[in-house]
Amino acid sequence: MLRKIKNALISVSDKNDLNQILRVLKKYNIEIISSGGTYKTIKKLGYKCEEVSSYTGFKEMLDGRVKTLHPKIHSGILFNRSNKKHKKEMKKQKYLSIDLVVVNFYPFQNSVLNSKNEKNIIENIDIGGPTMVRAAAKNYKDVLIITEKNDYSKLIDELKKYKGSTSLKFRELMSSKAFGLTAYYDSTIAHWFNNKLNIKFPNKKTIFGKKLEQLRYGENPHQQSSIYVNDFNDSEIGLKKISGKDLSYNNYNDIFSGLDILLSIKKIPTTVIIKHANPCGVSSNKSPIISFNNALASDPLSAFGGIVACNFKINKSIANELNKTFFEVILAKSFDTKALRILKRKKNLRIIDISNFKNRNNSAVKLFNGSFLLQDKDNIIFNKKDLKFVTKNKPSKKEIKEIEFAFNVCKFIKSNAIVLTDNFSTIGIGAGQPSRLDSCKIATQKAKQFQPKRLKNAIAASDAFFPFADGIKTLIKSGVKIIVQPGGSIRDKEVIEAANKANIKMVLTGTRHFNH
């Protein structure tokens, strides 16, 4: 069903590229109504235009807060062209139909990013724009709504194809986009208010997102996938791809897992190697190259095809080491010229600069079949005041620092999680097992396979309590001398007795770190 456009209303905050649509509107003798700055821009570009206040006979007021909120405007937009009563009422009032609405909103998100002035932010909450957009989108059978500059070329093509008319299919598509925009816009405002008032769990929760990229597929080739940005700055996520293939769903999943760990470790050069969203190697060392080599040594077999995340600059020496193993993605805080020359030899290797990446959100969301779970991120390692040294032998201050490192890594591993470390490097990781005993066996087997000499006097961290003593007996038998765990089992006494009998050290944190 084609609809001829006779009258258009244009009111845009972003006035770039207006000339390209004005030229086509003139070609098809479409009359233009506009307001404020948009009216001045259109006139300056040399096109005819009637100001809204002149058209409605109502001078805008309240510093421009009220200008398009007028019956003559909204009747023209909402008028059902197939309804005889509507026709009669419009004719009686001598109101014109408005067949095309071109609107984009006040830059609320930019004002939040660039201003701490609450008054300025509030003034950038658009009222008239979203009201017109919703009205036009509702009446898509008769009215076309355009809300994005990216759609100007589609509007031009449509007008040229149908000689000044638009198709129902196109109007409906633009209506869908328009309602998506108003929902998105309102949700950013609600998010700002919730942050301002420190409301973490409002009664009505909206999660906004702007599509950053269509991905080739999801976790598997038969699944479709895209990545969205959930932030006031919705144009990028702080990852600058320098070289390599496009990132996949699994790449992003691993990248975010690696960055979570990396951001939890401050100052010390650290390397994280991720495979299937679980770390297979984590190491902190004053020497970046030792940090990488230790992380790789933790499980070189699993590292194959994984991603590497570093909180330091990659130089030539580290690049040469990296190139000895097949990795999908390398993340680092910049790369020197010689390092890039070496890494770019592998054309498919994704090389990403994370210098501008920041942790912007403190919430974690899981979606399932029409419902979702929302929680704070697990940002605590433990409270040192809550530590309980429950065995006869007590750890030294230096050992407590490594206990903290091990327990921190543990919280990023799928439960049940067991982490073995030596000198601030993982040497064995048991992840995602239904049985904690199985995780203990896997962690110790990994360490025995790749770094058996470092097992002696190693530290073991468990994300939750040991329900039985069998798990710690497996760890003790392998050579572990210190165990850190939350405690809280009805068999804590039995577990502690086993630790004392083996003459090892045990620390209870009182903090659990399940990661499902």
Active centre residues (catalytic): 138, 276
> Which CA distances in Å does 142 have to 85, 182, 482?
16, 20, 73
Tell me how far CA of residue 512 lies from CA of 24, 460, 489, in angstroms.
64, 15, 12
Total length of the chain: 516
Per-residue tokens: 93: 């009032």
**Residue written as token pair 């998105």:** 184
Report residue 512 as tokens. Answer: 């659990």
CA dihedral over 157, 162, 165, 169, signed as positive or negative: negative
- Taking Cα atoms as reference points, which of 412, 396, 167, 423 lies closest to residue 295? 423
- Give the residue from 237, 266, 295 showing the smallest Cα distance to 422: 295
What is the rounded CA–CA span in Å between residue 413 and residue 408?
10
Cα 126-129-135 angle, rounded to 5 deg: 135
Residues 6+ apart with CB under 8 A from 46: none
Round to whole Å and give the CA distance between 430 and 415: 9
What is the SS3 assignment for 12?
Answer: strand
> CA 130: distance to chain centroid?
26
Angle at the Cα of 65 (from 62 to 66), degrees rounded to 5? 85
The pair of three-digit structure tokens given for residue 475, joined into one six-digit string: 């760890």
